[in-house]
């Protein structure tokens, strides 16, 4: 079923079926023409043999004809003499007309119907052969009347020779190989475009496709490279704008915090400093969001086990209830700082809203691709089912425990999802039956 759904499989099947069908049709037409030629040659030979026999009979004296007729059946003919008064009133056949034309007007040639006595007396194995029995009445120059029975020509199809089967198999194999090569050559540029589109979603800064190939492929490649350049430019402009705004806000916010320290009203000062701290947190996470969209960090070999152990240890040192279990033993190509930021955000969210985080690492395979799954489970109230996808939107917060009061800005999951997608993975949320939220970070295992 996979071959039928793929374009290369369909092109291969159409080419193979078309060539084989065309060859079969050509062979059938050629074989039919060959059979017609053979039949015409047999008919011509049969007329020629009958002509030679009758001319010899006409030249021989009447006393010697009986001895000569004994050899006639060996030529595929049977001749008997009839009384002179026997005549025929039936229509002439094509064979009779051809023989009459060869003999000339001095001979009288008539045809008898197929169900005449001579044809009906033939053996069953003879009448089963290909051909039509012909019976003729012929009058010689001396008015002698002869009955000429033309036996059907033997024309069974010859058996298939072993070398014919071999050559047929060789021909079909050659056609199949040719169709396979043509289908692969046709689909290869499309596969390259599809793979480039997949890689583009993971790395917007990937090298441009080489602009080579046929006119159509060259046009599609140029359009793809141009699209990649425009997307990269838009993302860079948006990222730089967000980074510039959030970065420029840091200086006035710092000065404002210093000035607030001089406010005499303690209660008012604490409220203003609290609001300012919330603003600084939002600016910091805005910078993190800008960095998560900018994947200029190079890929490097990374031991995921060590990274998880380090992140969980840092969280435990900070007084958070975090545990880690599981080993993969795989070194992969990843962006270490970005992946650390992703894991830190997910674990911080679990501790902040679920009081603790249990981190486990598992591996699996999907269609030949090895995957690594990082599960982060907490003990909180979970998230309403209709909001499990909305929480990935920037600045989105639920109306219950996940609110501004807990210090959240609604960017943590957005940043984590961006980083996971840059690595070809994803972040998924699910509510646990026993309570709490499960965060599943899936990453493809790309060996270093």
102 burial level (CB within 10 Å; 0-12, 13-18, 19+): middle
SS3 396: coil
Q: What is the DSSP letter of 46?
A: H
| Domain shared by 389 and 317, yes or no | yes
Using CA atoms in the order 226, 228, 230, 235, what is the torsion angle rounded to 10 degrees?
-170
Do the domain assignments include residue 16? Answer: no
Domain boundary among 294, 325, 355: 294
146 burial level (CB within 10 Å; 0-12, 13-18, 19+): buried
pLDDT of residue 125: 46
| Domain shared by 380 and 276, yes or no | no
Total count of domains within the chain: 3
Neighbours of 225 (CB within 10 A): 16
Query: CATH code at 435?
Result: 3.30.565.10
pLDDT of residue 127: 43
Torsion 206-212-217-223 (CA) sign:
positive
Do the domain assignments include residue 31? Answer: no
| Domain shared by 349 and 386, yes or no | yes
Query: CATH code at 86?
Result: 3.30.450
Measure the CA angle with vertex 136, ends 139 and 35; round to 5°.
135
| Domain shared by 62 and 127, yes or no | yes
Spans of the chain, pLDDT less than 70: 1-5, 71-77, 81-92, 113-132, 151-160, 201-203, 289-296, 399-409, 447-448
Do the domain assignments include residue 190? Answer: no
Separation CA 348–CA 315 (nearest Å): 8
| Domain shared by 342 and 354, yes or no | yes
Structural domain of 85: 36-150
Do the domain assignments include residue 222? Answer: yes
pLDDT of residue 279: 78
Separation CA 254–CA 284 (nearest Å): 13
Domain boundary among 275, 294, 313: 294
Q: Which of 445, 444, 442 is nearest to 427 (CA)?
A: 442
| Domain shared by 75 and 115, yes or no | yes
pLDDT of residue 358: 92
| Domain shared by 244 and 306, yes or no | no
Do the domain assignments include residue 385? Answer: yes
Do the domain assignments include residue 14? Answer: no
| Domain shared by 312 and 247, yes or no | no
Query: CATH code at 281?
Result: 1.10.287.130
| Domain shared by 289 and 316, yes or no | no
| Domain shared by 340 and 405, yes or no | yes
| Domain shared by 255 and 325, yes or no | no
Torsion 270-272-275-276 (CA) sign:
negative
Domain boundary among 294, 315, 340: 294
Do the domain assignments include residue 198? Answer: no
Do the domain assignments include residue 364? Answer: yes
370 burial level (CB within 10 Å; 0-12, 13-18, 19+): middle
| Domain shared by 437 and 310, yes or no | yes
């Amino acid at each position: 079923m996979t071959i039928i759904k793929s374009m290369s499989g369909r092109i291969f099947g159409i080419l193979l079926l078309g060539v084989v069908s065309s060859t079969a049709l050509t062979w059938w037409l050629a074989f039919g023409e060959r059979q017609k030629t053979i039949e015409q040659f047999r008919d011509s030979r049969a007329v020629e043999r009958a002509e030679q026999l009758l001319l010899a009979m006409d030249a021989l004296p009447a006393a010697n004809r009986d001895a000569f007729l004994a050899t006639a059946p060996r030529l595929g003919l049977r001749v008997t003499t009839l009384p002179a008064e026997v005549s025929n009133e039936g229509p002439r056949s094509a064979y009779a007309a051809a023989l009459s034309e060869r003999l000339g007007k001095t001979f009288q040639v008539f045809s008898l119907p197929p169900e005449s006595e001579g044809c009906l007396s033939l053996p069953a194995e003879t009448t089963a052969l290909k051909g039509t029995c012909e019976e003729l009445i012929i009058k010689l120059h001396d008015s002698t009347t002869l009955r000429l029975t033309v036996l059907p020509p033997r024309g069974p199809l010859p058996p298939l020779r072993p070398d014919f089967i071999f050559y047929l198999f060789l021909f079909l194999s050659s056609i199949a190989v040719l169709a396979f090569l043509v289908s692969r050559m046709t689909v290869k540029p499309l596969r390259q475009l599809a793979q480039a589109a997949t890689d583009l979603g993971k790395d917007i800064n990937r090298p441009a496709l080489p602009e080579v190939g046929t006119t159509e492929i060259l046009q599609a490649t140029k359009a793809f490279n141009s699209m990649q350049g425009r997307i990269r430019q838009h993302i860079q402009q948006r990222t730089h704008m967000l980074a510039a705004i959030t970065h420029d806000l840091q200086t006035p916010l710092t000065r404002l915090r210093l000035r607030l320290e001089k406010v005499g009203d303690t209660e008012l000062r604490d409220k203003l400093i609290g609001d300012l701290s919330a603003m600084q947190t939002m600016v910091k996470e805005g910078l993190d969001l800008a960095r998560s969209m900018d994947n200029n960090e190079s890929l490097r070999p990374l031991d995921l086990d060590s990274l998880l152990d380090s992140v969980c240890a840092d969280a435990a040192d900070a007084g958070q209830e975090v545990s880690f279990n599981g080993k993969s033993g795989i070194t992969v190509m990843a962006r270490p700082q970005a992946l650390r930021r992703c894991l830190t955000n997910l674990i911080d969210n679990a501790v902040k809203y679920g009081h603790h985080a249990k981190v486990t690492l598992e591996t699996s395979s999907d269609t030949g691709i090895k995957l690594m799954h990082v599960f982060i489970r907490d003990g909180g109230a979970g998230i309403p089912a209709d909001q499990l996808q909305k929480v990935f939107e920037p600045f989105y917060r639920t109306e219950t425990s996940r609110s501004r009061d807990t210090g959240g800005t609604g960017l943590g999951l957005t940043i984590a999802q961006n980083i996971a997608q840059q690595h070809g993975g994803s972040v998924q949320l699910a509510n646990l039956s026993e309570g709490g939220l499960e965060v599943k970070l899936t990453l493809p295992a790309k060996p270093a």
